[in-house]
Structure 1
Amino acid sequence: MFNYLPLQWLFLFYAYCFFGWCFESTYVSILQKHPVNRGFMRGPFLPLYGSGGIMMLIVSKPFYNNILLVYIAGCVGATVLEYVTGVTMESLFKVRYWDYSHKFLNYKGHICLESTLFWGVLTVVFTHFLQIPIEQALLSIPYNILSIVTMILTVYISCDFMVAFKIALDLRDVLIYMEKAKGEMQRMQKRLDVIIAFKGEEVMEGIEDVKDGIKDGIINTASGISEKAAGIGDMALNIGNGITDGISERLDALSDVLENSFDKVKEKISESAEYMDNFRDEITELYAKYRIIKERMTPKPIKNFYDWYRNRTILGNPTMVSEKFKSSLEEMRERAERLSKRK
């Protein structure tokens, strides 16, 4: 039982990857109420199921005649595989492609008692029932044909995996950059708040000094200027409050607040150029930094394929989570959903 040649083992791995994809995609599509191409890769293959299927055959082989030991071996082997895979992927890509944090007796969200018990049952059913007709079908395929098919699948799956791996790393880099961009925008908002408030006070103090030094005949003019300065002070306070209230974890919200603030500031600078020379220079510098951040966050045509592929990856893994990059991942998921609805 389970004595196969290397190419036959490899073919079985691909077959289990495909059957796992069929099961997962059907299950998740039912839950989501729309078709979902489930998995890390874009092709109809889930490597975790392929690895799990091979693992079940290997760990159950020494105990095949003892159902209880097969069950225990399946529980232990599959749980170890699931944990190692989950930890490795989160370490590399900074996201979890599955999460059991809400399950009873889970460990760091990677494994849980429910899935462990399920893997044991699946191992018994798989090795003693499902694998029998699969083995018969496998041995009935001429070895030459099996070799050609396996080699073709190897090339295709290897290419798909390499692209998927590249996209997963790209997704990680985007999440990291989004967090850095948020931090930079928040610092930019706070600096803008301080500058505007300071300059508003400076203008008002300057006007008061002028008022004290001039005669009664010019007081009305000075009062008009004072009102304008007070308007600038009120504007500074309003913008400052808006900025403080607008500091958000979402990049789009930060961007909207900054755009609005820059527009108002530019308008006031043009009205009060005499007092705002230094202010204008610093705002120009801040705005330049802001546009650089926006430019980097805007996909370029050359990245269209990778953006599409990344969106497919996000939509195909609705259980994907990241505690560190939670808000950024949610933004990307919402964006991917909006784009998918437009098509």
Structure 2
Amino acid sequence: MIILEQLFLWFLFYSFCGWVYESILVSVQEHRPVNRGFLNGPLCPIYGTGAVLAIVLLGSVRNPALVFVISAVGACLLEYATSWAMEKMFHARWWDYSNFRFNLNGRICLIGALVFGIGGVTIVNVIQPQVADVTAMIPMQMLHWLSVACAILAAIDTVVTVAGVVNLEDSLGQLKATVSRYGDAMRERIGAVGDAVSDASGKVGETWQSGKDMSMELMLKVRDAAGSMLNRQQRRMIASFPKLRTEHNNEMLQQLRDTFEKLYRGR
């Protein structure tokens, strides 16, 4: 029981480290603060899972080169499987390495494998011995209560997140229909300015290609509609995952990003 509780705390620790790493990396890439992570709390569970697996499976391996290779390959398998499973569950692609050389279906890439390999060696040989010493100092009673409390919080966070995100496609579809109606109404008001608003067939994308021509009034309406039709979890995912793509309403999602960016920059 104690070893399971320690493993769970290690999982939380490395999930937090992964969240810090991802948040800094994506914030630098996007030139804005990004609160990275699928859950509401500061955790990236895929990192915690990978780290704990490395600790359990490679803790007794003394060859750094072997640890590197197994960590790189194992982490890529985990990342690929996670990407595929989340896409099937939520009908969305959460990250995409298609712009990186030597990628596999955009789910994993060579540079990521190298980073994971180095991370595996660092965790197994450098960080984990120190982490194990610290957790061994926690009194048994405190270890029990800490594990239970953290497990309850993590479970609640997972349920809230999944419940909020599962209908993302439907919410985007409703938003697309609403924006199309806004465009039709404005079209009747200001005349046939096809590239400023959506056309009568509801193809939002054709009219949003030229963002500079979209009126400020329409962009503000889009922002307000998104705020009311997308719940907090969905809005957070759109902000946290710049590469997020959906199966059926991806055009709406990308054009929504463009609108937010133009409003943020004041056009």
Provide the TM-score with structure 2 as the length reference.
0.76
1:261-296 Cα distance to aligned partner (Å, 9 max, x none)? xxxxxxxxxxxxxxxxxxxxxxxxxxxxxxxxx9xx
1:287-342 Cα distance to aligned partner (Å, 9 max, x none)? xxxxxxx9xx95797x7xx6233212211112323465331111343466688899
Give the 3 Å change call, closer, same or farther, for CA 322–170 of structure 1 in structure 2.
closer
Q: Distance in 1 between matches of 2:261 and 2:232?
A: 12
Query: What residue is the counterpart of 2:66 in the other structure?
Result: 69
Q: Are 2:159 and 1:162 equivalent residues in the alignment?
A: yes
Q: Is the 8 A contact 1:311 1:336 kept in 2?
A: no
Q: Is the 8 A contact 1:315 1:337 kept in 2?
A: no
Give the 3 Å change call, closer, same or farther, for CA 27–140 of structure 1 in structure 2.
same
Opposite residue 117 of structure 2, the aligned amino acid is G
Opposite residue 102 of structure 1, the aligned amino acid is N
Query: What residue is the counterpart of 2:45 in the other structure?
Result: 47
Q: Are 2:204 and 1:250 equivalent residues in the alignment?
A: yes
Identify which of 212, 217, 234 aligns with 1:310: 234
Structure 1 regions of 5+ residues with no counterpart? 190-237, 255-293
Give 1:128 deviation, angstroms: 0.4
Q: Distance in 1 between matches of 2:76 and 2:95?
A: 14
Query: What residue is the counterpart of 1:18 in the other structure?
Result: 16
Q: Is the 8 A contact 1:76 1:116 kept in 2?
A: yes
Opposite residue 96 of structure 1, the aligned amino acid is R
Structure 2 regions of 5+ residues with no counterpart? 185-190, 209-220
Query: What residue is the counterpart of 1:129 in the other structure?
Result: 126
Aligned residues: 243
Q: Is the 8 A contact 2:169 2:249 kept in 1?
A: no
Secondary structure of the residue aligned to 2:93 is coil
Q: Distance in 2 between matches of 1:38 and 1:299?
A: 21
Q: Is the 8 A contact 2:6 2:135 kept in 1?
A: yes
Q: Distance in 1 between matches of 2:111 and 2:25?
A: 17
Q: Distance in 2 between matches of 1:339 and 1:10?
A: 43
1:235-282 Cα distance to aligned partner (Å, 9 max, x none)? xxx96x99xx9357427959xxxxxxxxxxxxxxxxxxxxxxxxxxxx
Query: What residue is the counterpart of 1:60 in the other structure?
Result: 58
Larger Rg: 1
Query: What residue is the counterpart of 1:33 in the other structure?
Result: 31
Provide the TM-score with structure 1 as the length reference.
0.61
Give the 3 Å change call, closer, same or farther, for CA 42–300 of structure 1 in structure 2.
closer
Map of 1:279-290 to 2, 5 A cutoff? none
1:205-248 Cα distance to aligned partner (Å, 9 max, x none)? xxxxxxxxxxxxxxxxxxxxxxxxxxxxxxxxx96x99xx9357
Q: Distance in 1 between matches of 2:121 and 2:155?
A: 30
Q: Distance in 1 between matches of 2:258 and 2:232?
A: 14
Secondary structure of the residue aligned to 2:38 is coil
Identify which of 131, 140, 164 aligns with 1:143: 140
Q: Is the 8 A contact 1:40 1:46 kept in 2?
A: yes
Give the 3 Å change call, closer, same or farther, for CA 94–86 of structure 1 in structure 2.
same
Q: Distance in 2 between matches of 1:49 and 1:90?
A: 18
Give the 3 Å change call, closer, same or farther, for CA 61–340 of structure 1 in structure 2.
same
Q: Is the 8 A contact 1:59 1:74 kept in 2?
A: no
